[in-house]
Amino acid sequence: MTRVVLIGMPGAGKTLTGEMVADRLGWKHVDTDDEVTARAGRSVPELFRTAGEATFRAIESDVVRSVLSEQSEVVVSLGGGAVADPVNREAIGRSGMVVWLRAEPSTLVGRVGDAGDRPLLAGALGVEESMTRLDAERRAHYAEVADVVVDVDGKTPDEVADEVVAQVEAGHR
């Protein structure tokens, strides 16, 4: 196995966990939101504001497919909504070990704060209601592609990273 893909909701810790796991394995880390920002020349919130979600998702899909097909010895932290696209799910499912960092919506809300930099959570519904709705929409997609589930509620980032590394070293796939 030469690729670990971290999926989960906003606030689940995909970026921090990805960095920690990559460091422990001696691999590269790629955050797809960072790659989208680099390609678009705009931050994710700015891209949503100026070009819309459809444009963001198109760029995100290109990034996801290229990162998952071209790189090895890499830990990839996917944007939370990447799993919504069935073509992305197919690419994710065959890309390596897919780890769902699962958390209860209450944990996620506590981690994202006012969600000002998260366009899908900063709407009129409020963070808690938006998070609960997104979680309900995405759970089945995460479950569909996940090889391993790591529950993050009540765990430190080190504990989560240790658990992911243990799964990688055990060779789950």
The domain segmentation of the chain, as residue ranges, is 3-170
The span from the CA of 112 to the CA of 15, in Å, is 13
CATH fourth-level superfamily of 3-170: P-loop containing nucleotide triphosphate hydrolases (3.40.50.300)
Position 171 scores a pLDDT of 81
Greater confidence, 153 or 124?
153
Greater pLDDT, 72 or 172: 72
Strand 74-77 relative to strand 3-7, pairing: parallel
Is the whole-model pTM more than 0.85?
A: yes
When pLDDT is averaged across residues 165-171 and rounded to a whole number, the result is 91
Question: Is the alpha carbon torsion for 47, 48, 53, 54 positive or negative?
Answer: negative
Which position has the higher pLDDT, 129 or 170? 170
